[in-house]
């Protein structure tokens, strides 16, 4: 049961589809954990339904109806008929939230994890049009990410394990945003590794004395693609 | 100007309520009996609205509007059995199909994220059918949203329409309406408050 949630504006932007894919990925992953936010999103969808109803209708060509009616005779696509990437994967994937299953064939271990810093491994899963980098982050038990600030907003959803920072402790399903003005120092709990989904608009900056040397390395691996 | 504004919803309401029940029944007929006549009625009512929805975001793109309408109506036919009348009004369900179709279309034309399975991000929730209590709550919320929308000041309604019908981010809405971002955000908050969609003040929400 998640204790930290996206705010209403973010849920609304998700419901209206005015959210970049990178952020939508974080919100939808949180929704997999959180029934309360799912039900709220359902209610927000009704704004869209009512606004759709209130649009001034724009009648089109009368041929369209004939075309669509003709297509109805084709066999119905059932849910199962959709090529489902999740059907073939191994059973240990059931713990992975649905929106993320498409990025890995067989659980978190099947991802290419790259060493980022002591106790921290990352695996980039996609890059958004706006340049945001979406990755999974694995912190070894008790691992200390180090004090860092952000050059852009950072969205995080805890997938398994837990970590804590100056503001509190975060468990599986929790959703948090750190903006560019906030510094924090997450530390994974000692009992198990912590895996999170993060979306960063721009590379993080380590501010602690010992880890500052990592900044150029991070910037190098980041390399925003030109649009 | 009247073209860009949505109709004033005063005309919706009582008769709208009866109509909503009607569309719900039509969807159930399509799901259970593959009723073409019911589908035809849904088609006649929703296609012009779906075209309007597409044209709102991309004015002048008539071909795209036809494509979206066709895509959504085929999904209505194929997926009617997944529609849960106790969860949502017919228009809400059709809105989510239209939204997903729009996202899918944008994604196909995107340079980076075109390999992402969008349906996995905006999927229909797989929650079991709601309990009687939840169903009553949902119904009440639907009523509050409908009444709230009717009473919303035009400037708040306008911002909601930008976000929901055009898929604009708060920043884009601010730019297009020549308003500061803070004003757009506060209008959205005020609107959500009127629609009783603000969650209880909770320190854990950022």
Q: What is the ipTM of this complex?
A: 0.88
| Residue ranges of domains in chain A, CATH in brackets | 108-222 (2.60.120.10)
Record: fold of B9-128: Rna Polymerase Sigma Factor; Chain: A (1.10.1740)
The domain segmentation of chain B, as residue ranges, is: 9-128, 152-206
User: Do the domains at B9-128 and B152-206 have one common CATH topology?
Assistant: no
pLDDT by 10s per residue, chain A, length 227: 688 999 888 999 999 988 888 999 999 999 999 988 988 898 899 999 999 999 999 988 888 999 999 888 776 555 444 444 443 444 444 578 888 988 887 788 888 898 888 888 999 988 887 778 899 999 999 888 877 777 778 899 999 999 888 888 999 999 999 887 777 788 888 888 899 999 988 665 666 666 666 666 666 665 554 43
CA dihedral B76, B78, B82, B84 (to 10 degrees): 30
DSSP helix/strand/coil, A117: strand
Q: Does A226 touch chain B (CB under 8 A)?
A: no
Q: Which stretches of chain B score pLDDT less than 50?
A: 1-5, 9-11, 202-206
* Burial bucket for residue B14 (CB in 10 Å: 0-12, 13-18, 19+): exposed
Q: Provide the pLDDT for residue B117.
A: 78
DSSP helix/strand/coil, A2: coil
Q: Provide the pLDDT for residue B16.
A: 74
Selected for mutation to probe chain B from A7, A14, A49, A71 (highest B CB count within 10 Å) is A49
CATH label, B152-206, candidates 3.30.420.10, 1.10.10.10, 3.40.50.300, 3.40.50.720: 1.10.10.10
* Residue A41 DSSP symbol: H
Q: Provide the pLDDT for residue A200.
A: 87
Query: Taking Cα atoms as reference points, which of B24, B26, B34, B20 lies closest to residue B78?
Result: B34
Q: Provide the pLDDT for residue B201.
A: 52
- Cβ-based contacts of B165 with chain A (< 8 Å): 51-52, 55
Q: Does A60 touch chain B (CB under 8 A)?
A: yes
Q: Provide the pLDDT for residue A213.
A: 66
* Residue A163 DSSP symbol: E
Q: Provide the pLDDT for residue A165.
A: 84
Query: Taking Cα atoms as reference points, which of A18, A25, A2 lies closest to residue B188?
Result: A18
Q: Rounded CA gap, B45 and A29, in Å?
A: 35
- Measure CB to CB from residue B192 to each of A12, A49, A76 and give the nearest one: A12
């Amino acid at each position: 049961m998640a204790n930290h949630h996206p705010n209403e504006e973010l849920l609304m932007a998700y419901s209206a589809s005015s959210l970049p894919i990178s952020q939508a990925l974080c919100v939808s992953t949180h929704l997999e954990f959180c029934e309360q936010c799912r039900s709220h999103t359902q209610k927000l969808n009704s704004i869209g339904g009512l606004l759709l109803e209130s649009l001034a209708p724009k009648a089109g060509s009368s041929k369209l109806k004939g075309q669509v009616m003709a297509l109805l005779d084709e066999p119905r696509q059932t849910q199962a008929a959709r090529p489902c990437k999740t059907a073939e994967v191994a059973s240990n994937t059931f713990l992975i939230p649905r929106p993320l299953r498409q990025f890995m064939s067989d659980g978190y271990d099947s991802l290419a994890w790259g060493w980022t810093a002591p106790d921290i491994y990352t695996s980039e899963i996609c890059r958004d049009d706006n340049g945001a980098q979406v990755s999974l982050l694995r912190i070894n038990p008790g691992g200390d990410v180090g004090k860092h600030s952000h050059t852009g907003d950072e969205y995080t959803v805890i997938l398994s394990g837990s970590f804590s920072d100056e503001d509190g402790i975060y468990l599986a399903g929790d959703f948090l945003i750190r903006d560019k003005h906030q510094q924090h120092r997450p530390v994974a709990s000692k009992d198990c590794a912590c895996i999170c989904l993060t979306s960063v608009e721009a590379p993080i900056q380590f501010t602690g004395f010992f880890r500052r040397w990592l900044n150029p390395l991070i910037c190098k691996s980041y390399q925003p693609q030109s649009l | 100007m009247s073209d860009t504004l949505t109709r004033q919803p005063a005309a919706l309401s009582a008769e709208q309520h009866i109509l909503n029940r009607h569309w719900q029944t039509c969807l159930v007929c399509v799901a259970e009996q593959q009723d073409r006549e019911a589908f035809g009625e849904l088609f006649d009512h929703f296609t012009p609205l779906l075209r309007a929805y597409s044209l709102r975001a991309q004015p002048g793109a008539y071909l795209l509007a036809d494509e979206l309408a066709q895509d959504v109506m085929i999904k209505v036919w194929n997926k009617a059995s997944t529609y849960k009348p106790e969860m949502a009004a017919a228009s809400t369900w059709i809105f989510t199909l239209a939204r997903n179709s729009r996202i899918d279309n944008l994604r196909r034309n995107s340079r980076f994220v075109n390999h992402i399975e969008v349906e996995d991000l905006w999927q229909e929730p797989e929650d079991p059918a709601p309990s009687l209590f939840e169903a009553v709550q949902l119904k009440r919320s639907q009523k509050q949203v409908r009444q709230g929308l009717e009473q919303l000041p035009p400037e708040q309604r306008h911002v909601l329409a930008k976000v929901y019908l055009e898929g604009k981010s708060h920043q884009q809405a601010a730019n297009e309406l020549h308003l500061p971002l803070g004003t757009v955000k506060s209008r959205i908050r005020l609107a959500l408050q009127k629609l009783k969609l603000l969650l209880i003040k909770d320190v854990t929400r950022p």
